[in-house]
Amino acid sequence: MLYFIEQCLNGVQLGMLLFLLAAGLTLIFGIMDLVNLAHGSLYMIGAYFAASFTAETGSFVVGIGLALLATLLVGIVLEIIAIRPLYGRDHLDHVLATFGLLIFFNELVRLFWGPEGRTIPLSSEMLTAVQVLPGVYYPLYRLIIILATLTVAALLYFVVMRTRLGMLIRAGASNREVVGALGVNIKLLYTLVFGLGAALAGFAGMIQAPISYVQIGMGENILILAFVVIIIGGIGSIRGAFVAALMVGLIDTIGRAFLPDLVRLFVSYSAGSSAGPALSSMIIYALMAAVLIFRPEGLFPAKK
């Protein structure tokens, strides 16, 4: 039971990271109608920046702060140089061009940081387990991840729901032409939205780095999950991304934790170990397929 709760918390943690990625992705897709396969590259760059800055300054917090700025800058430059020519073109062009960017970023990282990955060391107190519920212990840092990402999510909610920028974003997500008609500087808005997405993705990469890994291509696998999340949640919908991200995070984590044992009831031990991840991925993809067939606009579509 305790194990189950711990896995649930892990699921929430993964879900929140997915949310940060998915939120940026869904905004960019919803507002600029742009499919960005290089979004995972920003996740990766954020992690690498954090690793380097933390090593340089000796402080993880400072490292994150600098890395956020650096990732935001990369995002903005990327938008101006490579993304702008893509607006208005068909999705295939986006897919192809951003795939090219994905390859480019992988090589760029390899050039500057070398082929081996990086790690961000954590002080031992960060790894101690704290009591979250009677009898339930959870590593402190993982708890911090959940709290930090929830805070960012809340901030995002505040910006999107209560500020003028947020209103433009919401309007843009459901009706692009309206925003243009309002006389807003579209170019600037797009750049800001892209930069925001980059910062969110980078932050996700950074914050999970100490307990996971920083290596080339790390964005590729999680990017797919992020796309699955936005399809399930509904393109352009942040609320949808939030719910779907939690769903996917929980299913994936709990699946990986418990399915191996379930499989082992029927087949061998090792088959269980390897079948677990495969099955939990299949469940998630099956869920996406079901949404596409029965409710293609997503579970929480952005309002028309």
CB proximity list for 181: less than 8 A, separation 6 or greater: none
Answer yes or no whether residue 57 interacts with another protein by CB under 8 A. Answer: no
- Look-up of token digits 């992690």: 47
∠ CA(300), CA(15), CA(101), 5° rounding?
Answer: 90
Extract the tokens encoding 21: 């990625």
From 5, 65, 76, 93, residue interacting with another protein (rule: CB under 8 A): 93
**CA dihedral of 154, 119, 37, 75, whole degrees rounded to 10:** 60
186-208 and 164-174 are packed helices; what angle lies between their axes, rounded to 10 degrees?
Answer: 100
Instruction: Kindly tell me the sign of the dihedral angle through the C-alpha atoms of 204, 208, 14, 145.
Output: negative
Please report how close the Cβ of residue 14 comes to another protein at its closest, in angstroms: 17
User: What is the nearest approach in angstroms of another protein to the Cβ of residue 21?
Assistant: 15
**Is the sign of the CA dihedral 153, 158, 163, 168 positive or negative?**
positive
Which of residues 27, 28, 35, 218 is near another protein by CB under 8 A?
A: 35
- Encoded one letter per residue, x for contact with another protein by CB under 8 A and - for no contact, window 235-274 reads -----------------------------------xx--x
Name which position in 62, 129, 154, 292 contacts another protein (CB under 8 A): 292
First and final C-alpha spacing in the chain? 43
Q: Which amino acid is at 81?
A: I
- Residues 156-195 contacting another protein, CB under 8 A: none
Q: Which of 80, 100, 121, 178 binds another protein (CB under 8 A)?
A: 100
Interacting residue with another protein among 262, 278, 295, 303 (CB under 8 A) = 278
| 87 within 8 A of 176, measured Cβ to Cβ | no
CB of 277 to another protein, least distance (A): 6
In the complex, the smallest distance separating the C-beta of residue 50 from another protein, rounded to whole angstroms, is 22
Task: Name the residue nearer to another protein (CB basis): 127 or 292.
Answer: 292
Helix (H, G, I), strand (E, B) or coil at 136: strand
Q: Does 105 bind another protein (CB under 8 A)?
A: yes
Centre a 10 Å sphere on the Cβ of residue 216 and count the other Cβ atoms it contains. Answer: 20
Taking the C-alpha atoms of residue 49 and residue 244, their distance in angstroms, rounded to an integer, is 29
Footprint of another protein on 199-218 (CB under 8 A): 217
- The binder of another protein chosen from 82, 122, 126, 184 (CB under 8 A): 82
Count of chain residues binding another protein (CB under 8 A): 43
Give the residue from 242, 268, 284, 266 showing the smallest Cα distance to 17: 242
Residue 99 C-beta: closest distance to another protein, Å: 5
* Residues whose CB is less than 8 angstroms from the CB of residue 158 and which lie 6 or more positions away in sequence, other chains included: 166
Q: Which is nearer to another protein, 93 or 165 (CB)?
A: 93
For position 85 contacting another protein by CB under 8 A, the verdict is yes
Site for another protein, rule CB under 8 A:
29, 35, 82, 85-86, 91-93, 95-97, 99-108, 110-111, 217, 220, 224, 227-228, 231, 270-271, 274-275, 277-278, 281-282, 285, 288-289, 292-293, 296
